[in-house]
């Protein structure tokens, strides 16, 4: 038996056979190939290709892409909620394999759809590279997109409990909010006044990891975890992302607030591109109006025009 066969055999004792034999799950190679290609393109190949080229104009495509993901996650949440009355609250504790075969296959296939969607979401970063918004291709962004499909592969090959379904539901709700933000931002400058709430989106992301870390450990205490390996993996990622997003929050919003308080009116640039997709973070008030980050002459001209 080869090393590859031993590896895949070890990760075949759990999960559901109908799902774990599907595309992107039957072997570790497709997942590894896609994730490796993604990281290489967005961090090395893409920036190299685009360094002397003009940004690709693809706003309509990006708008449709983001709104499509909003619709998908709303549908996913509504469809997933139907499993609760069918299977009861015990859906969140213990092996799914004790339930009727047909409903278990539907539940696992529903999770598989989300797994495939995570690969589609890799296009987020590809669009950023092609539009030359390199400042937004942060290490946290790339790591977050890359590690989730990796976790999904191991989960499908071992876990048979649905305790993570609550985590998936909460995360899907956050994705509805997140892609709504991206979709509105992609509509253009005149819509920027409607996305003053990104700071609160980041706070929501931090909150989800904090709450779900506590939840998962309670599930372990209550004996709802089937795969110890996946529990450790998911717990590690949840705690790691909790601190990474806190660090991102401090580095992004606290610095912006201090800069605004200091009276520095020059918007920060990274690679020649204004932060926040062409707008200066912190320049939008709670009413969506332009604040003191603009030069006085420009504000006077705006007042006269009004």
CA distance 74 to 107: 17
CA 111 to CA 88: how far, in whole Å? Answer: 18
- 88-116 burial, b for 16+ CB within 10 Å, e for fewer? eeebbebebeebeeeebebbbebbbebbe
Q: Please count the other Cβ atoms lying within 10 Å of the Cβ belonging to residue 129.
A: 21
Identify which of 55, 51, 197, 66 has the alpha carbon closest to the alpha carbon of residue 124: 66
Q: From the candidates 16, 141, 144, 145, which is the catalytic residue?
A: 144
Structure tokens given for 129: 């590279």
DSSP helix/strand/coil, 44: helix
- Known catalytic residue at 144: yes
Which two tokens mark 221? 């205490």
DSSP-H helix ranges across the chain: 3-10, 17-20, 28-40, 46-50, 59-81, 83-87, 101-120, 123-130, 139-156, 165-186, 198-221, 228-249, 255-261, 275-278, 296-305
Residue 248 CA to residue 47 CA, distance in Å, equals 23
Distance CA(213)–CA(218), nearest Å, equals: 9
Residues facing residue 290 across a β-bridge: 284
* Distance from chain centroid for Cα 1: 37
Catalytic sites, residue numbers = 144
């Amino acid at each position: 038996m080869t090393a590859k066969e031993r590896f895949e055999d070890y990760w075949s004792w759990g999960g559901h056979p109908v799902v774990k034999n599907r595309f992107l799950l039957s072997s570790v190679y497709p997942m590894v190939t896609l994730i490796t290609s993604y990281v290489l393109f967005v961090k090395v190949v893409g920036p190299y290709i685009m360094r002397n080229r003009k940004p690709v104009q693809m706003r309509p495509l990006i708008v449709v892409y983001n709104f499509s993901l909003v619709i998908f996650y709303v549908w996913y949440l509504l469809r997933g909620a139907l499993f609760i009355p069918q299977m009861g609250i015990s859906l969140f504790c213990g092996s799914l394999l004790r339930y009727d075969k047909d409903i278990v296959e539907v539940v696992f296939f529903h999770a598989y759809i989300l797994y495939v969607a995570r690969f589609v979401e890799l296009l987020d970063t590809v669009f950023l590279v092609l539009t030359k918004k390199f400042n937004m291709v942060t290490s946290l962004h790339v790591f977050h997109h890359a590690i989730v499909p990796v976790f999904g592969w191991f989960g499908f090959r071992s876990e048979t409990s649905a305790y993570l379904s609550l985590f998936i539901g909460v995360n899907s709700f956050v994705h509805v909010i997140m892609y709504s933000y991206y979709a509105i931002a992609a509509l253009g400058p005149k819509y920027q006044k409607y996305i003053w709430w990104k700071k609160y989106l980041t706070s929501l992301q931090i909150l989800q990891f904090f709450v779900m870390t506590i939840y998962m450990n309670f599930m372990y205490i209550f004996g709802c975890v089937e795969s110890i390996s996946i529990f450790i993996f998911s717990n590690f990622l949840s705690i790691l992302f909790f601190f990474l997003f806190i660090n991102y929050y401090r580095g992004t919003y606290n610095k912006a607030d201090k800069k605004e308080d200091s009276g520095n009116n020059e918007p920060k640039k990274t690679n020649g591109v204004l932060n926040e997709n062409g707008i200066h973070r912190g320049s939008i008030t709670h009413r969506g109006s332009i604040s003191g980050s603009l030069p006085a002459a420009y504000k006077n001209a705006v007042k006269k025009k009004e």
